[in-house]
Amino acid sequence: MNDLDDLYREIILDHYKNPRNQGVLEGPTVHAEEGFNPLCGDEVKVYVQVEDGVVHDIKITGQGCSISRSSASLMSQAVKGQSLDEVKATVSRFKRMIAVEETEDEPEPVDLRVIGELAALQGVVKFPVRIKCATLAWNTLMLALDEESHSV
């Protein structure tokens, strides 16, 4: 395992053991959604509070493997404070980084400087089975935001 892998492993383990933005949100501007990984029964619940088109706050609860929990934690960091358009761009960048099963083509190269710490999850591409772990929180976030856009 080379140094970069080690670094990534450290980031993942750090976020797994100390997940950021844990907890629940309440209030009229909060949207919550539950996600569920059919592979292993893992669950995640994402709460987002959107104000003026910006993700004002985000919290996460649930249980899962290191990939799914660290991915949720890294996601919460990445999108907090972003506008809805920025969130969409982040989600799409993240998915392109790891999407390999869903499309016929090789994953598009992604600028790792733009994606920041999220790059730690790039290694998942090599393990298609675990892509579902990595995307669980992200898909759940998108559902929560969909709901939010419908409710406006």
> Which positions touch other proteins (CB under 8 A)?
1, 13, 16-17, 38-42, 64-67, 101-104, 126-130, 133
Q: How far is the CB of 8 from other proteins (least distance, A)?
A: 13
* 126 versus 150: smaller Cβ distance to other proteins: 126
Token pair in block for residue 50: 């959107």
Q: How far is the CB of 65 from other proteins (least distance, A)?
A: 4
Return the residue matching tokens 């249980």: 63
Token pair in block for residue 74: 């890294």
* 116 versus 128: smaller Cβ distance to other proteins: 128
Contacts of residue 75, defined as CB under 8 A and 6 or more positions apart, other chains included, come to 94, 118, 137, 138, 141
* 67 versus 145: smaller Cβ distance to other proteins: 67
Q: How far is the CB of 40 from other proteins (least distance, A)?
A: 4
Q: How far is the CB of 62 from other proteins (least distance, A)?
A: 11
* 21 versus 37: smaller Cβ distance to other proteins: 37
